[in-house]
């Protein structure tokens, strides 16, 4: 399917579900503030945030709101990143 074939999600993002969990710029926090809209994370840490599920995930994790952690040196075939452009 072509990029943008589906409607955007609530944040205006297209095509957020794919074959890999996505590395994020955010540092992972164990006490992440729940119930907040777009909370700001730590400015440093040792683990990065992974979002979404991947081809080896349980179906429960196949959503962009899923959040887990990954060490900086870890590499797996089911983790990737998204290139995005802003204007």
The two structure tokens encoding residue 1? 């399917």
Structural domain includes residue 69: yes
State the total domains in the chain. 1
Structural domain includes residue 6: no
What's residue 18's pLDDT? 66
What b/e string do you get for 23-53 counting C-beta neighbours within 10 Å, with b at 16 or more? bbebebeeeeeeeeeeeeeeeeeebbbbbbb
Structural domain includes residue 26: yes
In whole angstroms, how far apart are CA 51 and each of 2, 21, 83?
22, 6, 14
Structural domain includes residue 16: no
Task: List the domain range (segments joined by +) for residue 66.
Answer: 21-31+42-80
What's residue 51's pLDDT? 84
| Binned average pLDDT, 10 residues per bin, the chain of 87 residues | 75 72 85 67 85 82 80 86 71
Structural domain includes residue 52: yes
Distance CA 7, CA 67 (A): 23
Structural domain includes residue 58: yes
Structural domain includes residue 61: yes
Cβ contacts of 9 within 8 Å, gap of 6 or more: 16, 64
The model carries a pTM of 0.66
How long is the chain?
87
């Amino acid at each position: 399917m072509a990029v943008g074939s589906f409607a955007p999600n609530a944040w205006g993002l297209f095509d957020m579900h794919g074959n890999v969990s996505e590395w994020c710029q955010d540092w992972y926090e164990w006490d992440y503030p729940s119930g907040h809209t777009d909370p700001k994370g730590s400015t440093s840490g040792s683990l990065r945030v992974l979002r979404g599920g991947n081809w080896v995930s349980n179906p429960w994790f196949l959503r962009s709101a899923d959040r887990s952690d990954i060490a900086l040196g870890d590499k797996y075939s089911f983790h990737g990143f998204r290139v995005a452009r802003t204007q």
